[in-house]
Structure 1
Amino acid sequence: MINTFFWSESSQALFTDNTGLLFLIESLTPQQQWQDFCHELYHVLLHTRHQGRMSPLFREYQENKANNFMYHACIPSFMLDELEQSDSNALTVHHVQQLFNVEYDFAVKRLEQYINNKQFF
């Protein structure tokens, strides 16, 4: 089970027994909360250790993995594929931002990832 709470501190994920706890900053915009939720969800689903007790390089690795997950969870590739197939003009930053309820810069970065990945395959 995963419980989500809103508070004034920084967003984070904690574990207790078999329950994941997500704490999101209440003052963020809905878009920022959604992005933070996906980032912290990765920690709950795939990490089990307290980051304060691990090496800085491993903590950085975990954060990079959580950030990558965040972009793909907020804006899944299979959904971008569907948009591209139905209307290539739908892959504009503004349209993706509105459709997936993310911030503008977030949509820019995710579309860059998507387009770069398509060029390699």
Structure 2
Amino acid sequence: MHYHSHLEEYIKEFYTQMGIITPSLLDHEEISENSGIKVFYWSDSSQALFANEQPFIFLDETLSQQQQWQEFCHELAHVLLHTGDQFYMSPLFREYQEHKANNFMYHACMPTFMLKDLQLYDCTPYTVLNLQELFNVEYEFALKRLTQYYNKRIMQKRHNIRLRNVR
């Protein structure tokens, strides 16, 4: 049995409400339009902010398409899940929010429900390259996300075996 985390369920619901059910439909411009988030490109580092309760994401225009997609998902986490201005936060709370946004980024760029549909069986460079292309992410990003996905599956199998042995 495969259990989904709260974050995995949140992302699945977020995407399926917009009709985004396959990797080919993952597009930050479509997501921002459907979410009412204004996206701008500029020459500074990517960031998210609110002005008059309107969310904005500013993406670094010098980044590759893959990096912009990854940055968009990181900033999307701040828009959807966080409150407050990080400038006024304690360093530890800011670090906590950044950690959560990075975790969200990996799951939003390569959602578990989409990975599950691919019937993945290995972590070879060929598989990682295919995922990199399919999800429009960098190679190292795809490798890390695939590793996360497999690690969770392994842990769930171990947990299920322990539960069967207890009965």
Using the size of structure 1 for normalisation, the TM-score is 0.93
Taking only aligned residues, the RMSD between alpha carbons, in angstroms, comes to 1.5
In the other structure, the counterpart of 1:63 is 98
Rounded Cα–Cα distance in structure 1 between residues aligned with 2:55 and 2:67? 20
Higher normalized contact order (CA 8 Å, seq sep 6+, divided by chain length): 2
Q: 2 CA distance for matches of 1:49 and 1:28?
A: 27
Mapped to 2, the partners of 1:64 and 1:96 lie a distance apart of 23
Q: Is the 8 A contact 2:39 2:57 kept in 1?
A: yes
Instruction: Name stretches of at least 5 consecutive residues in structure 2 with no aligned partner.
Output: 1-35, 157-167
Larger Rg computed on CA atoms: 2
Residue number among 104, 109, 115 corresponding to 2:144 in the alignment: 109
**Larger proportion of strand:** 1
SS in 1 for 2:118: helix
- CA deviation vs aligned residue, 1:38-73 (integer Å, no higher than 9, x gap): 000110111120001111111010000000000000
Compute the displacement of 1:90 (Å): 9.0
Kindly report structure 1 stretches of 4+ aligned residues shifted beyond 6 Å. none
Instruction: Tell me the number of residue pairs that the alignment of Structure 1 and Structure 2 aligns.
Output: 119
8 Å Cα contact 1:7-1:26 kept in structure 2: yes
Q: Normalising by the residue count of structure 2, what TM-score does the alignment of the two structures yield?
A: 0.68
Task: Indicate the percent of aligned positions where both proteins have the same amino acid.
Answer: 61
Of residues 43, 46, 59, the one that matches 1:8 is 43
Unaligned 5+ runs, structure 1? none
